[in-house]
Amino acid sequence: MTRPPLVLTVAGSDSGGGAGVQADLKTMLALGTHGMSVITAVTAQNSLGVQGAWELPVEAVRAQYRAVVDDIGVQAVKTGMLASAPLVETVAELLADTDAPVVVDPVGVSKHGDSLLAASALDSVRERLLPLATVATPNLDEVAQLTGVEVRDEDDLRRAADAVLGFGPRWALIKGGHLAGDAVDLLTDGTEEHWLRAPRHDNRHTHGTGCTLASAIAAGLAKGEDVPAAVAAAKEYVTGAIAAGFALGAGIGPVDHGWRSR
């Protein structure tokens, strides 16, 4: 039997199952890869928001990572919620010693506006983590948090991408989902540009979109796709998942990671 490509998520746990490690693993399975996980933090979370968050010790994160990579191996890594400067620096140290493409989702806040990254960790993300990224996937709030660039329209996306690329990732994917109109993202390495557009679906149940998109990109890279192809396929997958998003609890429900099989 042929082994599927191996993808590792290094991220926080979402007890409600819509985002974080849970969303990552669902995405990786849906896209034909074997997902593995290093849990960096545990959240008490549901459709209404994050009720609590507890980061794991750096020793636990390092042990999980080494256990997976040293024995099983990995063909792509995706990072999500890293919570604190010590965790960011530990993960950066581990990634620097791993020969695989890395998708960095610089998670700053949850869908509900809850902070998931300490302000003291921003310099570590800029200086230690982003230089290791094959693709960095910030949304507009995270762009502002990391660079100070405020994006108000499509013309600002280039300026945002330039600012993010200044920290060293090979590619920047600036997600314009918070702008009015179609959902437009800009992927660029500073030389070539790819504009990805999709219709905006009238569905409030969008919890986990960022995690899902980054994981889908990592799955594509693990399969051997180049960055533009992996990002385009991930955009198509997450657009379908948003369209199929469903109510769960009393608040914002998740995207449907299994929409293609229904």
CA-closest candidate to residue 37, choices 172, 169, 207, 218: 218
Active-site residue among 175, 177, 212, 235? 175
DSSP-based three-state secondary structure for 115: strand
175 noted as active-site residue? yes
Active-site residue among 80, 210, 245, 253? 210
DSSP-assigned beta bridge partners for residue 218: none
DSSP-based three-state secondary structure for 135: strand
Active-site residue among 208, 220, 245, 253? 208
Torsion sign, CA atoms 253, 254, 259, 262: negative
CA-closest candidate to residue 223, choices 187, 165, 215: 215
Active-site residue among 211, 235, 239, 245? 211
Residue position matching structure tokens 């955009």? 235
2 noted as active-site residue? no
Active-site residue among 79, 147, 188, 206? 206
18 noted as active-site residue? no
208 noted as active-site residue? yes
Active-site residue among 43, 209, 212, 239? 209
Neighbours of 199 (CB within 10 A): 10
Active site residues: 175, 206, 208-211
